[in-house]
Amino acid sequence: MGPRDRRAYILVIPSLFTTGNLFCGFYSIIHSFAGEFENAAYAIFLAGIFDVLDGRVARFTQSTSKFGVEYDSIADVVSFGVAPAVLAYVWALQPFGRLGWASAFFFAACGALRLARFNTIANELPKAYFLGLPIPAAAYSIGAAYIAFAQLNFEYAPHVLLILSPLLGFLMVSSIRYRSFKDLDFKTKRSFIWLVLIVIGVALIATQPEVGIGLVFAYYVLGGALREIYLFIKNPSDRQKKYIAPQFVTTDSPQEPPRGHL
């Protein structure tokens, strides 16, 4: 097998995981229309696993490519933009008529805009933060909302989704910073309260996993926004400094194309 044949073979491997991501998004849409919302929600979560793996595999096999970036973005639009929007509409927003489908469409459109912006400025962003809510986190929030509300038999779920869907869309295209956790260092000293919060989170997920997972995503989505508001009120001029401060990808080594959704 020559170098060209081997290269062509390797490039297929990450694309298989991207295809798995795309299949999960399609699978979620089919089950949403069938009224099987739980399967649709879990399919979105599974798509996230494939989405993480395709990037890891691409870097491990040194097979990142422009094709992989574009294919990954297309799959993400389906799995994390269209699929959760369809889930939200068929499950909760349909009774609101035009307002309902407009809310769902706004979520999907903002997800596509989020991906386009990320692919454009990925190499200019700090490693420690994402600019705007990552689209998988927004999609997971829709899926987790269904699982939690179904567990709690929450009767006002449609009204919450009518507000939640466009809110998540707005957060995706906003300039609010969200932690990427790429700079997470467990060796760094932390406040004791962090350990307490982690223990509470683990206990909640262990006893009420459906509700616990929903609260985790609610904390991530709302926490980033509230942190930005607090920093802005505390010192408006310092916000720009904090945004620039985290380490950027250095230019000492060749830049690889961004592979991912965030």
- C-beta of residue 137 within 8 angstroms of C-beta of residue 78: no
pLDDT tens-digit readout, 169-214:
999 999 888 887 665 555 566 666 766 777 777 777 677 777 777 8
Q: Which of 108-122, 161-175, 235-249 is the least confident region?
A: 235-249
| In-domain check, residue 252 | no
Q: What are phi and psi of 74, to 5 degrees?
A: -60, -45
Q: Is the pLDDT of residue 144 over 90?
A: yes
Q: Is the pLDDT of residue 6 over 80?
A: no
Give percent of the chain above pLDDT 90.
44
Please provide the DSSP assignment of 36-88 as one string.
-HHHHHHHHHHHHHHHHHHHHHHHHTT---HHHHHHHHHHHIIIIIIHHHHHH
| In-domain check, residue 182 | yes
Which of 107, 143, 129 is closest to 216 using CA atoms?
Answer: 143
- pLDDT at residue 248, rounded to an integer: 36
- pLDDT at residue 199, rounded to an integer: 78
| In-domain check, residue 259 | no
pLDDT tens-digit readout, 75-86:
999 999 999 999
| In-domain check, residue 251 | no
User: What is the rounded distance in angstroms from the CA atom of residue 139 to the CA atom of residue 256?
Assistant: 27
Which of 201, 200, 231, 228 is closest to 216 using CA atoms?
Answer: 201
- 86, amino acid identity: V
User: How far is C-alpha 184 from the chain's CA centre?
Assistant: 18
- pLDDT at residue 41, rounded to an integer: 96
pLDDT band, very low/low/confident/very high, at 238 (cuts 50, 70, 90): low
Q: Which domain holds residue 181?
A: 3-244
Residue 203 CB coordination number (10 Å): 11
Residue whose structure tokens are 């929030």: 141
| In-domain check, residue 90 | yes
Specify the long-range contacts of residues 214-217, CB closer than 8 Å, at least 24 apart.
214/144, 214/145, 214/147, 214/148, 215/148, 216/144, 217/137, 217/140, 217/141, 217/144
Q: Is the pLDDT of residue 57 over 50?
A: yes
pLDDT band, very low/low/confident/very high, at 66 (cuts 50, 70, 90): confident
Domain count across the chain: 1
- C-beta of residue 97 within 8 angstroms of C-beta of residue 90: no
Question: Hey, what are 220's tokens?
Answer: 């991530």
User: What is the rounded distance in angstroms from the CA atom of residue 213 to the CA atom of residue 218?
Assistant: 9
CATH code of the domain containing 175: 1.20.120.1760
- pLDDT at residue 247, rounded to an integer: 39
Q: Which of 8-17, 46-55, 223-232 is the least confident region?
A: 8-17
Q: Is the pLDDT of residue 40 over 90?
A: yes
What number is the average pLDDT over the span 119-147?
85
- pLDDT at residue 74, rounded to an integer: 94
Which strand (E) or helix (H) includes residue 193? helix 192-207
| In-domain check, residue 201 | yes
Q: What is the mean pLDDT of the chain?
A: 81
| In-domain check, residue 255 | no
| In-domain check, residue 76 | yes
Q: Is the pLDDT of residue 101 over 50?
A: yes
- C-beta of residue 44 within 8 angstroms of C-beta of residue 24: yes
